[in-house]
Amino acid sequence: MINQREQWGSKRGFVLAAAGSAVGLGNIWKFPYLVGENGGAAFILLYLVCVILVGLPVVIAEILIGRTTQRNPVGSFRELSQGNPFWMAVGGLGVLTGFLILSYYNVIAGWCLGYVVESFKGSFQQIENPALAGELFSSLSSKPHWTLLFHGLFMMITITVIYAGITKGIERASKIMMPALLVLILILVIRGVTLKGSAAGVGYLLKVDFSVITGKTFFLALGQAFFSLSLGMGALLTYGSYMSKKESIPGSALQIVILDTVIALLAGFMIFPAVFAMGMHPAQGPSLIFNILPVVFNSIPAGYFFRIVFFLLLTVAALTSTISLLEVITTFVVDEFRLPRKMAAIFLGIVVFVIGLPSALSFCGWQNVRLFGLTCFDFVDFISANIFLPLGGIFIALFVGWFWGAEKASSHLLEGAVNLTPFLVSAWSILIRFIAPVLILLIFLSSIGIL
Ligand code: PHE
């Protein structure tokens, strides 16, 4: 059965698919506003440190587990731990987290698709200020049929790609969508920085203001690095399980991390110059993309066209991430229950759509349904992104560094990585054994309010 497992057609295909998983709403929506609210370039510097010290080593560890065993998260841990139930549960937690993240992420992804359609229809043409855009957003998202229609449509598109398989589905889609994404973002960056008055936005991104950096900012940067790199739930592990042992893991990991970081930075250069050029306030937080940008485009020459480009960009970025989330659970079901991939993809897509209904309805009808004081959407987001991802990350680092053992793991890491020097191998093993688990533990404690 292992011999029949499909493999990526090329190293480039794998890198683009994994970078597609990493590049998502986290980069385009969340990173820019975190930068905006937390000290501009000082935050960017902190973010880069987190990516290098924690992100890269854990990316390598996850891909390594998957490639070594050629299995899904649960099967991988079972094999490497000889059936130890605790470690299998860690794999199971990853699969569960995939279900949960996909269920609400797909709702936002659906809005992005819905905004592409609304942009085509010209719905934002008459909207003159963010308050009106906010009203439009609430009125759209509060219509159950609008939110559910796009939630369903987006899930169907994701299912179609997974249905087609690793090379014919994910790899082919990533090879088209990732270059398209880069082109779309470059068009918008060029548009943004060439507007009159955009220099203030560039300055805002580049000014270094250490006075606003606190312990909390550090945790935000680390948490963002984690979510943005799709770490802690087995997405990269699953993609790694389709990788050939002839390819270099550290080389691929570095490319994935660089692509993810560059796109997050470009997203900043796309958004802030335009926001400043239009005289709007940058520290708007999460509403930036749905409330501010549709209005910003109204004051920009050819704004109708650029607004469509912008929401298309968000849609493509979200899609390459939802694909990786559905793939984690599909690989799990295909490996463990021997279900044919096509059937698994459709069945799981429908299940996740249904699990996502309470999150979707949190905006249209179920606003008052609360779990621990949070709407269903916020609750699922909180437990999966703030609790399960960091927990998964700590266990992955501890597993590779201590249980499996950095030494044994390194011997597998060297397969396909002929140029890896002993110095780099020791650096990685120190980071994965000591630095990564401790730092991730800190984000975890901070996100549950203990630090
Ligand atoms: N990395 C994706 C983003 O930045 C989100 C994601 C998290 C995708 C975990 C897969 C797994 O939007």
Whether 207 contacts 41, CB under 8 Å: yes
| pLDDT in the model for residue 99 | 96
| pLDDT in the model for residue 1 | 45
pLDDT in tens, 419-448: 899 999 999 999 999 999 999 999 889 888
Mean pLDDT of 138-159: 94
In testing the pocket of ligand 1, which one of 23, 33, 96, 105 has its CB within 8 Å of the most ligand atoms? 105
Domain parsing of the chain, residue ranges: 11-447
pTM equals: 0.95
Least confident of 139-143, 295-299, 356-360: 295-299
In testing the pocket of ligand 1, which one of 181, 228, 313 has its CB within 8 Å of the most ligand atoms? 228
Residue nearest to atom 10 of ligand 1 (CA): 230
Mean pLDDT of 102-123: 95
Is the pLDDT assigned to residue 2 strictly greater than 70? no
C-alpha dihedral, 339 to 342 to 343 to 348, nearest 10°: 100
| pLDDT in the model for residue 102 | 97
DSSP percent split of the chain into helix, strand, coil, nearest 5: 80, 0, 20
Pick the CATH number of 11-447 from 1.20.1740.10, 3.50.50.60, 3.90.1570.10, 3.30.70.1880: 1.20.1740.10
Question: Ligand 1 centre and the CA of 230: distance in Å?
Answer: 4
For 25, the token pair is 């709403």
Question: Ligand 1 centre and the CA of 445: distance in Å?
Answer: 21
pLDDT in tens, 404-417: 999 999 999 999 99
Question: Ligand 1 centre and the CA of 328: distance in Å?
Answer: 12
| pLDDT in the model for residue 3 | 47
Is the pLDDT assigned to residue 186 strictly greater than 60? yes
Is the pLDDT assigned to residue 163 strictly greater than 90? yes
| pLDDT in the model for residue 397 | 98
Is the pLDDT assigned to residue 216 strictly greater than 70? yes
Residue nearest to atom 9 of ligand 1 (CA): 230
Mean pLDDT of 28-35: 88
Question: Ligand 1 centre and the CA of 300: distance in Å?
Answer: 31
Q: Please tell me what DSSP assigns to residue 9.
A: S
| pLDDT in the model for residue 277 | 84
Contacts of 176 (CB under 8 A, 6+ apart): none
Cα–Cα distance, 65 to 73 (Å, whole number): 9
Whether 56 contacts 257, CB under 8 Å: yes
- Place 283 in a pLDDT band, splitting at 50, 70 and 90: low
Q: What is the mean pLDDT of the chain?
A: 93
Is the pLDDT assigned to residue 47 strictly greater than 70? yes
pLDDT in tens, 360-403: 999 888 989 999 999 999 999 999 988 999 999 999 999 999 99
Total residues found in the chain within this entry: 451
Residue scoring higher pLDDT (446 or 2): 446
Residue scoring higher pLDDT (140 or 431): 431
Mean pLDDT of 11-19: 97
| pLDDT in the model for residue 20 | 98
Residue nearest to atom 6 of ligand 1 (CA): 230
In testing the pocket of ligand 1, which one of 321, 352, 389 has its CB within 8 Å of the most ligand atoms? 321
